[in-house]
Amino acid sequence: MLCKRAKRRLDIFPWASDTDEEERAQQQQQRMQPDTRKSIGPSDVVKGSISYDFAPDHVQAGKVLAHCQNCIQRLRFAVGEGSLKIVIYKIGITHDCTARFELYKAHNWTRMVVMASSEDLGLIEMLEAALISHHNRGVQCRNVLLGGEGMRDKDFSPKFRPPFYCYCATGKHVANIAKAFADDIGACRALKDLARAPVCDAEKYLQKVLQKWELIFDVPITYVDVSDTCRIPFLKPSDYIMKLCEKGFLNKLLGGPLESSAARLEEFWERFREEEPNHEVFTHDFFSTKDLVPLYVHGDGGRTYRRDELMVLQFQPILGFGSRASHPLKRRCAAAGVNLQGHSFTTRFLTSVMPKSLYKNHPAHFDGFVKAAFEDLEQLYYSGLRIRDDHTLRFIVLGLKGDLPFLVKSGHLNRSFVNVRKGPENPKSRPLTGCCWKCAAGSSAVPFEEFTRSPAWLTTTGPNNELPWTTIAPFLDHVPHVLEDKGAFFKLDLLHIYHLGIGRDFAANKNFPAGHWNKAFDTPVLIEFTGWVLRRYNVILNSHRMLQIIASACDAMSRFMHNLLRSGLWMRQAVAADSGEDGLYFLACYGKLARLSFEVRKCRYNMVPKLHCFHHVCLDLIRKSSHLSYLLNPLAECTFQDEDFVGRVARLSRRVSPRLQCLRTIQRYLIATRYELPS
C-alpha cells in the first residue's frame, strides 16, 4: 500500500520540472552554441512524437488562446483514447522543441504538440501563463510554477535567440508513469511492482498488483451462463455482501451500524406490513424481521462506445442515510432515511454489465442477465448469510426500479406508454390495450387523462388488476411479491415521471417547447423560478387566468417535492396527505391549462402517460394516509443516485478494450469502489 511519505513526495514533485539540474546544464550548453535552427512553419507535419499545429498568422490574441486550448484538448483525447483523466500533461515554452522533447522522453513523456511561435518572448510567456492559469486546477496538469520562468537572465534579457515556442507535452501509460515515479520513490514497493508492468499489456498486470496490495475491492468475479451461447462476468450479490461484511462496510446495507439495525429492520417490516399486508413475505415464518434486509434492484442503459447502450444492473438497500433536506448533518440517530446520500458507489452495488450487441437480437440473453441476479438474491432470502456464529442476515428484493423502457423490457409488460395513440383514431389504428401496468388506464373504455379523486381506472387496481404480461418474466419466479397485484413489483420513479417528464414539459415555453437540453435537476429550479417571476408582476398575473393557474401549479408542485425531500424513509400521515393533495392539485391545474390551450387552438400541455403515473403516486398518498400512520416515501423508489451510478459505470466502460468490455469495466468499478467506500 502506498505509504504516506510517498504520497507527500508525489504531491510535491508530481513530475520532473523545467528547473532540473540536467535541463539547466543542457540549456547552458545549447546557449553557448551558434543557433543554426530553421524556423518552423505551419506546414510541418508530425515528426516522430512531436507535432506542430500553429495558429494562423495575423489573428487576434483571443483566437490564439482558443487555438491553443483546442490543441491541448485534442492531444489529451488522442493520447488518452477518448479519456482525459488518464492523461497527464504539462504546458511550457522553449527555444528548441527537439531538444526539449528529448529531455521529456527521458522521463517517459510520450507526445508533444507545438502550438504557437513568436519572435516576442513576452508574448509567448503571457500565453504560457494564461494556459497554465486555466489548467493548473486539474490534477492531471503537472505545472507547478505559474509560467514565464527559465527563459530570461537576471537582468531580464532573453537567454536565447528567437523564435520561441509554446508547447504541451503529455504522457498516458500507467506503466510509464509508475517507472518515472519509482525512480524517485524508493520506499514505495507498490509503485516498484507497478513499474514492472509490460507496456503492451499493462491492464492485466495492473489488476494483479492491485490485488496484491489490496488496492481493489476484491469481490470474486464469477462467469455466468445467461443462455446456451452467452457467458458474462458477474458479481454475485452473495459474494458482494460477504465482502462488505468482511471489510466492515455492512452498515452500507443497513442504514446505520449493525448494532442498532435490529430496531430499524423491525420498524420497517412492522410499517410495511400495514402498507402491503398481502405481500408473500408475510406468509413465511422461517425468519425474524430483525434480520431481514429489504433491497431494490435497478437497471438502466448507459452510453458506451459510439453511444451504444450498456445495460447496468445493480442492487441497493432501501434503508439509507436520508437526503440533504431530511438529514442535513451526518446521521447519528437510529431512524432510517431514504437512500439518497453518499457516493453512489457506496450506496449501490454492481452485479454486472451487458452491451446491447449481446441482447439486441437475442432477448433470451437479456432475460438470463436479469434472472441470474435474482437467482442469487433468492438464495440470500431462503438460506441467508451468516455474518457471525450467532447471527444470520437474510435479504429480500421488494421491487424493480428503472426508467419505463427498462421496466417494459425486463417485465415483458404489454401495457405501457408505447400503446398510446399519437394522433386521431383511424381505420388502421391499433386497439388501445392500456398504458399502465398497474391498472387498465389507457384502454378504449378507461381514459388515463381523468385527473380526479375517483377516476374510472381506480376500480381496476390492486386485486382487480389483470396481469400486465402474456408471458411472465423468468426472474419473477425467484422473488416473493404481492400475491394479489404482481404488477406492483415494478416501481414508479418520480425522477423520470416528474423531473424528466411532466415537470420538464410544464416548465417549457414557446421558444423551448421540448426542453431536451434540460437536465433533471433543472426542472424544480425552473418551476420555482416560473412561480417567482409570475408573483413579481401582480398586475399581469391578475389579468390573465392561465397565468394564475400556472402560478398556483408551481406553488403546489414545489410544496409536494419539499415535503418528500424533508421526510425520512417513512412519511407521517399528515405530511403524506398534504403531499398527495398538492400533487393532485397540480394535475388539476395541468388538465385545466390543457383545456384552455385547446380552446384557443394552441398546442400546449400535452397529455402524456407520465401524468397518469404521477396520478397513481398522488392517489396512493391520499388513500393510504386515511388509515395509516406512516407511509413509505415515494422517493425511496426514485432513481436520482441510480442515474449517477449508471453514468459513472458507463464512463468506465469507455476507457477499456471493447474485446473485454464487461470484465474490464467490472474490474475498474471495483478499483473505484475500493477508493470510495472508506469515505
Asked whether the beta carbons of 114 and 50 are under 8 A apart, the reply is yes
Q: Is residue 304 part of a domain?
A: yes
Asked if residue 617 has pLDDT above 80, the reply is yes
Whether pLDDT at 14 is above 50: no
Mean pLDDT of 336-351: 94
Q: Give the three cell numbers for residue 565.
A: 425531500
Question: Do 158 and 24 sit in the same domain of this protein?
Answer: yes
Distance of alpha carbon 519 from alpha carbon 300, whole angstroms: 17
In a shared domain, residues 164 and 240: no
Residue owning grid cell 417547447: 513
pLDDT at 442: 92
Spell out the residues 6+ positions from residue 470 whose beta carbon is closer than 8 angstroms to its own: 412, 414
Cell of 347: 450506496
Q: Which amino acid is at 120?
A: D
Does any domain span residue 452?
no
Domain match, 657 and 602 both: no
Q: Are strands 222-225 and 111-118 parallel, antiparallel or unpaired?
A: unpaired
Q: Is the pLDDT of residue 88 over 60?
A: yes
**pLDDT at position 517:** 64
At 184, the amino acid letter reads: D
Evaluate if residue 294 carries a pLDDT over 90: yes
Rounded to two decimals, the pTM is 0.76
- On whether residue 510 sits in a domain, the answer given is yes
DSSP state of 320: B
Same structural domain, 600 and 661: no
Whether residue 373 sits in one domain with residue 242: yes
Given 172, 193, 209, the domain boundary residue is 172
pLDDT attached to residue 302:
95
pLDDT over 90 for what percent of the chain?
A: 58
Closest CA to 594 of 579, 611, 582, 581: 611
**pLDDT at res. 333:** 52
Contact in structure between 474 and 368 (CB atoms under 8 Å):
yes
Least confident range of 55-59, 360-364, 438-442: 55-59
Residue 176: which pLDDT band, with cuts at 50, 70 and 90? low
Q: Tell whether 610 is covered by a domain.
A: yes
Q: In 1-19, which positions are buried (b, 16+ CB within 10 angstroms) versus exposed (e)? A: eeeeebeebbeeebbbbbe
Domain end marker among 131, 149, 172: 172
Give a yes or no: residue 86 inside a domain: yes
**Sign of the CA dihedral 139, 168, 101, 119?**
negative
Name the average pLDDT for the chain: 86
Q: What is the pLDDT of residue 1?
A: 42
Of 344-348, 427-431, 473-477, give the lowest mean pLDDT range. 427-431
Q: How confident is the model at residue 200 (pLDDT cuts 50, 70, 90)?
A: low
pLDDT per position as a tens digit, 455-494: 999 999 999 999 999 999 999 999 998 888 999 999 999 9
339 neighbors 202 (Cβ within 8 angstroms) = no
Output the pLDDT for position 203: 80
Residue 394 has pLDDT above 80, yes or no: yes
**For residue 514, what pLDDT band results from cuts at 50, 70 and 90?**
low
Query: Of 137, 154, 172, which residue constitutes the final position of a domain?
Result: 172
Q: What is the pLDDT of residue 147?
A: 84
Tell me: do 627 and 646 sit in the same domain: no
Report the pLDDT value the prediction gives residue 508, as an integer from 0 to 100: 80
Q: pLDDT grade, residue 197 (50/70/90)?
A: confident
- Cα(650)–Cα(652) distance, integer angstroms: 5
For residue 442, CA distances in Å to 143, 356, 429, 431, 574 come to 61, 30, 14, 10, 31
Confidence band, pLDDT 50/70/90 cuts, at residue 139:
low
Domain-located, residue 421: no
pLDDT value at residue 623? 96
629 and 661 both lie in a single domain? no
Of the two residues 431 and 518, the one the predictor is more confident about is 431
- Give 236-260 pLDDT, tens digit per residue: 999 999 999 999 999 999 999 999 8
Sign of CA dihedral 332, 335, 337, 343: positive
State the total domains in the chain: 3
pLDDT of residue 329: 56
Comparison of pLDDT for 389 and 433, the residue scoring more: 433
Regarding whether 653 and 604 lie in a shared domain, the answer is no
Which pLDDT score is estimated for 181? 53
Strand partners, 394: 292
Each residue's pLDDT tens digit, 625-677 = 999 999 999 999 999 999 999 999 999 999 888 889 999 999 999 999 998 99
pLDDT digits (tens, 9 = 90+) for 23-81: 555 555 554 443 433 333 333 334 458 889 898 888 888 899 999 999 998 888 877 76
108 and 151 assigned to the same domain? yes
- Based on the fold, state whether residues 619 and 573 are members of the same structural domain: yes
Least confident of 102-106, 201-205, 309-313, 314-318: 201-205
Beta bridge partner(s), residue 316: 296
| Structure-block grid coordinates of residue 496 | 423520470
Residues 256 and 359 in one domain: yes
pLDDT digits (tens, 9 = 90+) for 523-545: 999 999 999 999 888 878 888 89
Residue 668 and residue 606 share a domain: no
pLDDT band of 570, cuts 50, 70, 90: very high
Q: Is residue 23 part of a domain?
A: yes
Question: Which domain covers residue 591, as residue numbers?
Answer: 494-636
* Residue 189 within a domain: no
